[in-house]
Amino acid sequence: LCYFCTYSQEAKASDNVPTLIIAPRFDVNPYIPTGSEGVRGVDFGNSSLCSLLEGSIGENFSYSMCNHWITTETRPLYQNILRTDESDFIDWLTLSYSVGNFTFTAGKDMVAIGGYELDPMDVVQHPIICSKFFQDCSIFQLSAKVEYTTADEASTIGFQFANSIFSQLQPFKERLFAYSLTWYGDYDWFAPIWSVNMLEYERGTFVKVASLGSGFYFGDASIELDLMYKHLNYDGSNHEFSPACKFNYNFNNKFELFAKAGYEYRSGMDILGWEDEMGFFPTDISGGSYAYYGIGAHYYPLKNSQDLRLHTIVASNSYAKSIAVNVGITYLFNLTETIRKHR
């Protein structure tokens, strides 16, 4: 209802109407054990109903809101409102002001940690071939940031002040903060998403992070290389190193093959871990390592569009003693374009 009111008002004023995308996804994810202790059973993977609303107010202001309305565990989305250690039904809600080459943004936003794995909307991501950091991190927090984009729009440098991902109560109650410096680039064959971060773990104690996501493009092929290093103590007693690589090959924008592998090493405490419990993913890998890998395919059946996506993935890891086979469908339904076509 809010969207249709906004659409009607802005449509009368100008052609710049808000864009609303409704994104349902349905997955089926059976687990096939490869040993006597392997995980078995079936779940619904990343099945969810999301939406993305974006638009502008005048010449300088813009807004963006992404919501998770339904997931495989819907109730916590509405019970965890304003908690900083859990997900709720608002992924992000931001207001931006642009003047010249600068953009100022405030609201609930993704903590600006670099890398390709954290960049897409969750509904289009495949968690079964993602890192433990992706599984555990409470990435959406209240924040404020400023960004500068070069005249050729090839690079954007940003600084963000945010609530820390290690907060466990309401925003700012524990006074744990995050400071991030980012670089986004687009240089034809090379597209970096890099950051250095100071994430407050306890008052006055920071996890130092360097996260370098690099995209390389060669015709129909691409490589996404993520390198993340996390450091808790200056003496080197607790550090983590997490490389990951994904290879994609696109066939005429209709069919895509991809393979991904990653590795995580921790010399000390797993700072995002908790008591280990049986499942496809480990919950604590303190003083150890973990590898994950998988192959998959995307198929886009609509003519001249990638809005509808069919996917299948086969994945495993060094912990699960089983193989996951994920099959699903995702539809990025652009309601704005549909209304325009039928006006």
pLDDT by residue (tens digit) across 60-116? 999 999 999 999 888 888 887 777 777 788 999 999 999 999 999 999 999 999 999
Handedness of CA 169, 172, 178, 184 (dihedral sign): positive
Q: Which helix (H) or strand (E) holds 78?
A: helix 75-79
User: Over 90: is that where the pLDDT of 302 sits?
Assistant: yes
Mean per-residue pLDDT, 217-233: 92
Q: How far apart are CA 224 and CA 97, in angstroms?
A: 31
pLDDT at 3: 47
Highest mean pLDDT among 7-11, 118-122, 250-254: 250-254
In this structure, are residues 170 and 83 in contact, taking their beta carbons and an 8 Å threshold? yes
Q: Which of 148-152, 203-207, 322-326 has the lowest mean pLDDT?
A: 203-207
| 298-332 per-residue burial string, b: 16 or more CB within 10 A, e: under 16 | bebeeeeeeeebebebbbbbebbbbbbbbbbbbbb
pLDDT at 272: 63
pLDDT by residue (tens digit) across 172-193? 677 899 999 999 999 989 999 9
pLDDT band at 274 (very low <50, low <70, confident <90, very high): low
Q: Which helix (H) or strand (E) holds 3?
A: helix 2-13
Mean per-residue pLDDT, 317-336: 94
pLDDT at 269: 67
Q: How far apart are CA 262 and CA 241, in angstroms?
A: 11
Q: Which of 20-29, 150-159, 268-277 has the lowest mean pLDDT?
A: 268-277
User: Over 50: is that where the pLDDT of 13 sits?
Assistant: no
pLDDT at 141: 92
Average pLDDT, the chain: 88
Q: How far apart are CA 320 and CA 323, in angstroms?
A: 8
pLDDT at 9: 47
User: Over 60: is that where the pLDDT of 2 sits?
Assistant: no
